[in-house]
Amino acid sequence: MEEAKKTMLSGIKPSGDLTLGSYLGAIKNWAARAEEYDCYYFMADLHAITVRQNPVDLRRRTLEQLAQYIACGLDPEKNTLFIQSHVHQHAELGWVLNCYAMFGELSRMTQFKDKSAKNADNINGGLFTYPCLMAADILLYQPDYVPVGDDQRQHVELCHAIARRFNGVYGDVFKLPEPYIPKVGARIMSLSDPTSKMSKSEEENGGTVLLMDPPETIARLFKRAVTDSETFVHYDPARKPGVSNLMTIYSAVTGKSYDEIEAEFAGQGYGVFKPAVGEAVIETLRPIREEASRLMKDKAYLEGVYRAGAEKASHIAEKTLRKVYKKVGFVAR
């Protein structure tokens, strides 16, 4: 008898365009797992609205993100791709889990503190209870693994705490998933500030490469990338964070080891190294950009993908939600 595949899921907010960091740190690794795992990947539009969004832009970016997921190798025949708000069970379980998360736990979340500092005029309840919705996203599908960035580890730990608390009262309702943090390319840093992660918010500072950036933009960003006053290519994140970050990127797109990269650019300096990294990234992203642009013109196809994805996700999620509703004492629908 064939052993059932283990389940894995993850989502990214469509609050900005996908970055090279998102691709190398997450999506590229997701695509390789479809044979081994039953995978669910979603556009986390419910999470996006903790910060005010332009509705037209949010709709457009949600569809663009789906097109980019597919262009990055997430085959809809092998992965369940859906829009978070299309699966109502996420919001419903999120509310129940709010009632099993403690105020103190939520107030200790680093991300809440960071985002409150950046959005002082909009410290809303959704920002505070964000981890409960994230816990619902995870627990609905009873996954074995959750691929997360290192910065999300705290949220997965809180998800465990909530699930254990609920299970302690009602029995084994939720499976406790393990965080899955890939070894390579997990943390791509900003080109303008190699001490901070490459993110959508770094775009204005010239620190972020977007998946859909044209080749001339990518080349310019890498030529301007922050390095150091030395001239030799050597991997040392503490002393040479900028060069080490460029080596991480080059390694992720070419498959070369750090030793091979050092040998390749021995005696050549940053004037040769930085454009070479840019060129390697351009060639990696070219087919993704072209395919995503083609898919965006086929709205009927994208609609078919997200409808089918939501239908399958909703079917699985409903099993968990029904069990939870029964345990807490709600009258069956």
Q: Is 6 a catalytic residue?
A: no
- Mean pLDDT taken over the chain: 90
Range in 194-198, 238-242, 256-260, 269-273 with the lowest mean pLDDT: 194-198
Task: Show the tokens assigned to 113.
Answer: 């503190």
Burial class of residue 124 (count of CB atoms within 10 Å of its CB; 0-12, 13-18, 19+): middle
pLDDT tens digits, 283-317: 999 999 999 999 999 999 999 999 999 999 999 99
If pLDDT is split at 50, 70 and 90, which confidence band does 98 have? very high
If pLDDT is split at 50, 70 and 90, which confidence band does 28 have? confident
User: Among the options 200, 312, 323, 327, which is catalytic?
Assistant: 200
pTM, two decimal places: 0.88
User: Among the options 13, 197, 240, 274, which is catalytic?
Assistant: 197
**CATH dotted code for 6-180+298-328:** 3.40.50.620
If pLDDT is split at 50, 70 and 90, which confidence band does 150 have? low
Pairing of strands 37-43, 6-12: parallel
The confidence score (pLDDT) of residue 329 equals: 97
Task: Show the tokens assigned to 9.
Answer: 């899921």
The confidence score (pLDDT) of residue 1 equals: 44
Q: Is 197 a catalytic residue?
A: yes
The confidence score (pLDDT) of residue 179 equals: 76
* Long-range contacts of 62-65, Cβ-Cβ distance < 8 Å, separation of 24 or more: 62/14, 63/296, 63/299, 63/302, 64/14, 64/17, 64/212, 64/292, 64/296, 65/12, 65/14, 65/18
> Which amino acid is present at 34?
A
The confidence score (pLDDT) of residue 186 equals: 54
Mean pLDDT of 266-288: 95
User: What are the φ/ψ torsions at residue 83 (nearest 5 degrees)?
Assistant: -100, 125
CATH topology identical between 6-180+298-328 and 200-293: no
Q: Give the domain 200-293 fold.
A: Tyrosyl-Transfer RNA Synthetase (1.10.240)
pLDDT tens digits, 204-220: 678 999 999 999 999 99
pLDDT tens digits, 256-269: 999 999 999 999 99
User: Among the options 28, 115, 240, 274, which is catalytic?
Assistant: 115
Domain ranges of the chain: 6-180+298-328, 200-293
Contacts of 68 (CB under 8 A, 6+ apart): 18, 27, 211, 212, 288, 292
- Looking at the chain, the whole-number percentage of residues with pLDDT higher than 90 is 67
pLDDT tens digits, 48-81: 998 889 999 999 999 999 999 999 999 999 999 9
- Distance in angstroms (rounded) separating the CA atoms of residues 309 and 319: 16
Contacts of 325 (CB under 8 A, 6+ apart): 96, 332
Q: Which residue has the higher pLDDT, 184 or 285?
A: 285
